[in-house]
Amino acid sequence: MFVIDKLNVKVKDSSKEILKDFSLTIKDGEIHAIMGPNGVGKSTLSKVIMAHPDYVINSGTITYNEDTLNNLTTDEIARKGVYLLMQDPSIIDGVSNSEALRTAIKERGSDTNLYTFITKMKKELDSLKLPKEVMHRSINKGLSGGERKKNEVLGLKVLTPSFIILDELDSGLDVDSLKVVAKNINEYLKENKNTSVLIITHYSRVLDLIKPDYVHQMEKGKIIKTGDISLAKEIEKIGYNGVNEIEMNKDYE
């Protein structure tokens, strides 16, 4: 189970508060989506979970399966089974996909047998409709925005995490690529039923492909509303402000 409890986060060397008393519980196997307009702290949340050095946790806790993540380093959190699929994956010239992923497997103390690794990589590249050469290419170099996202899903399938954060999965992806990526993630979730997912998104279209159990609306660093997929549809239809206005009117009545 993944639990964020009353988390207060500031930008390092600044008084700017990003998350305010943010709380969220995700049980094993659940898919949660967080929606919100730009600048409410959605992507920051994903970086805070991964202990990005630009942010400081002032109070509150992040726990995953009895482990408190607050004081762990980024790599330690990843090795606990947390995988961040970034909105804008970096390009790393000179470091190949296979080199990085094999190192990551080795760091987990798992089997790094070359034949097993190559076979797995080939299978997953095929499934993601990525050329086999991507394996030996520099990370994300020469790849389109969509291919970079697919490459991140490749990492996911090779490293087999149990908690996945999808940060703006659909940004930079065309409709066909989004379908391929979503299909691969859904297949992974089917094979790994206890895996939980946190989807961070502006739009509901990704939620049509990866169905969430819960949808949360975020504003000013905290969750202000929780519902099911119908909340996402409502937001898509009348916008974030519209949803809030209706809520305020309901309260007034």
Partner 1 sequence: MNKILLDSTKNFNKEGTYKLELDKDITINIESDNIKLYLVTKNDIKINFNIKKSVTIYNITTNNIKMNANIYNNSKLDFYLMSITDKKITNEVNIYHQNKETISNVTCHGISYLKGDLKFSVNGYIKKGMINSVCNQSSRIINLDEGKSLIEPNLFIEEFDSIANHSAYTGPFDEKLLFYLETKGISKKESFNLLLNGFMKLEELPKDYENILDSILDKVMRR
Q: Which stretch binds partner 1 (CB under 8 A): 33-41, 90-98, 183-191, 245-253?
A: 90-98
Place of tokens 């990589």: 121
Q: Which is nearer to partner 1, 135 or 243 (CB)?
A: 135
Contact flags string 99-118 toward partner 1, x per CB under 8 A: xxx-xx--xx----------
CA R_g for the chain: 19
Nearer to partner 1 by Cβ, of 24 and 139: the residue is 139
Measured between alpha carbons, how far is residue 63 from residues 50, 57, 67, 224 in Å? 12, 13, 5, 21
Which of 87, 21, 27, 24 is CA-nearest to residue 52?
87
Exposure class string for 214-232: b at 16+ Cβ within 10 A, else e: bbbbbbebbbebeeebebb
The site for partner 1, by CB under 8 A, has a size of 28
Taking residues 117 to 156 in sequence order and writing x for each that binds partner 1 by CB under 8 A, - otherwise, the string is ---------------------xx---------------x-
List b or e across 80-116, with b for residues whose CB sees 16 or more CB atoms inside 10 angstroms.
ebbbbbbbebeeeeeebbbeebbebbeeeeeeeeeee
Find the binder of partner 1 among 21, 28, 75, 245 (CB under 8 A).
75
Window 13-52: residues binding partner 1 (CB under 8 A): 50, 52
> Among 35-43, 80-88, 184-192, 210-218, which window interacts with partner 1 (CB under 8 A)?
80-88
> One-letter amino acid identity for 169?
L
Which of 55, 83, 117, 188 binds partner 1 (CB under 8 A)? It is 83
CB of 233 to partner 1, least distance (A): 32
